[in-house]
Amino acid sequence: MDAIDTTFLRASKEAIAAPTDYPQSPLSQALRQPVLLGLFLPIHHGGWSSSTLPRTTDWSVDYNAKLTQKAEELGFDLVFGYSTWQPKGGQGPTRTEAGLDAFIATASLAGITSRILLISTIHVLYGPWHPIHLAKFGATLDHISKGRWGINVVTGHRAYEHELFGWNQIEHDRRYELADEFVSVLKRLWSETENFSYKSQNSWQFKDAYISPRPLYGRPILVNATGSDAGIEFAGRHSDIVFITSPGGGDIESALSSLPAHTARVKKSAIANGRQIRTLLNPLIVVRETEKEVEEYAQAIIDHADYESIAGRSRVSSDAHAWKGHQKRNLRHGVGSALGANVQLIGSPEQITEQLLLLNKAGVDGFQLAFYDFDPDLDFFGKRVLPLLKQAGLRF
What pLDDT is recorded for position 31?
Answer: 98
What pLDDT is recorded for position 90?
Answer: 58
Chain segment 73-105, per-residue pLDDT in tens: 999 999 998 887 776 655 666 665 668 999 999
Confidence of residue 224 (pLDDT cuts 50, 70, 90): very high
Residues 47-63: what's their mean pLDDT?
Answer: 90
What pLDDT is recorded for position 255?
Answer: 93
Apex CA 116: angle with CA 110 and CA 117, to 5°? 80
Confidence of residue 331 (pLDDT cuts 50, 70, 90): very low
Q: For 268-277, 324-333, 349-358, 379-388, which range has the lowest pLDDT when averaged over its residues?
A: 324-333
For every residue of 360-382, DSSP letters joined together read HHTT--EEEEEESSHHHHHHHII
What pLDDT is recorded for position 82?
Answer: 82
The count of structural domains within the chain is 1
Write out 33-68 in H/E/C secondary structure.
CCCEEEEEECCCCCCCCCECCCCCCCCCHHHHHHHH
Query: Is 110 a member of any domain?
Result: yes
Question: Are the CB atoms for 298 and 339 separated by under 8 Å?
Answer: yes
Q: Give the H/E segment covering residue 345.
A: strand 343-347
Query: Is 122 a member of any domain?
Result: yes
Q: For 186-195, 298-307, 358-367, which range has the lowest pLDDT when averaged over its residues?
A: 298-307
What pLDDT is recorded for position 34?
Answer: 98
Query: Is 134 a member of any domain?
Result: yes
Residues 348-362: what's their mean pLDDT?
Answer: 98
Query: Is 180 a member of any domain?
Result: yes
Query: Is 396 a member of any domain?
Result: no
Q: From CA 18, how far away is CA 27, in angstroms rounded?
A: 10
The CATH number for 69's domain is 3.20.20.30
Q: From CA 396, how far away is CA 390, in angstroms rounded?
A: 5
What range does the domain containing 71 cover?
A: 6-390
Q: Cβ contacts of residue 336 below 8 Å, gap of 6+?
A: 249, 250, 251, 326, 329, 330, 344
What pLDDT is recorded for position 240?
Answer: 98
* Residue 128 pLDDT greater than 50, yes or no: yes
What pLDDT is recorded for position 156?
Answer: 75
Query: Is 295 a member of any domain?
Result: yes
Chain segment 235-247, per-residue pLDDT in tens: 999 999 999 999 8
What pLDDT is recorded for position 333?
Answer: 40
What pLDDT is recorded for position 364?
Answer: 98
Q: What is the pTM of this model?
A: 0.89
What pLDDT is recorded for position 187?
Answer: 97
Query: Is 395 a member of any domain?
Result: no
Query: Is 1 a member of any domain?
Result: no
